[in-house]
């Protein structure tokens, strides 16, 4: 079986403003090129993983009932990369706010992400 050399992985941890990890958060990775989407849920420790993603530029969103949604634009995944995107500060509330800033991206290979929400 041939290795999937044109793939990348995305993982990370989701926390609330106090730093507590948040389980049950829906994580969506949407490929800008064609709109294809992959999803994952954070586990009991607030950790998620989406393996074997096609390389490209993504919008990554984090949502859970009762919390403000977060969105990171322009997340670029490269061949063979493991990209760690920690969503810090998922706040309580019914409506998503709009704000921008740098994403909290760290990991095996660092990348740049633009945060909204």
Sign of torsion, CA 91 68 92 85? negative
Average pLDDT value for residue range 98-104: 37
Residues 56-83 have pLDDT tens digits of 999 999 999 988 899 999 999 999 999 9
Average pLDDT value for residue range 25-34: 97
**Domain residue limits, the chain:** 7-116
| Residue 96: HSE in the Cβ half-sphere, 13 Å Cα cutoff | 14
Query: Residue 116 has what pLDDT?
Result: 54
Tokens coding 51: 């393996």
Domain 7-116 in this protein, CATH class: mainly beta
Is-contact 59 53, C-beta < 8 A? Answer: no
Residue with more model confidence, 80 or 91: 80
């Amino acid at each position: 079986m041939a290795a999937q050399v044109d793939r990348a992985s995305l993982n990370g941890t989701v926390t609330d403003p106090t730093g507590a990890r948040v389980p049950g958060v829906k994580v969506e990775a949407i490929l800008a090129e064609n709109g294809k989407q992959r999803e994952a849920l954070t586990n009991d420790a607030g950790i998620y993983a989406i393996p074997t993603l096609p390389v490209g530029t993504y919008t990554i969103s984090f949502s859970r009932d009762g919390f403000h949604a977060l969105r990171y634009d322009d997340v670029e995944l490269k061949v063979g990369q493991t990209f760690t995107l920690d969503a810090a500060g998922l706040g309580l509330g019914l409506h998503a706010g709009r704000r921008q800033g740098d994403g909290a991206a760290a990991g095996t290979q660092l990348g740049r992400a633009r945060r909204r929400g």
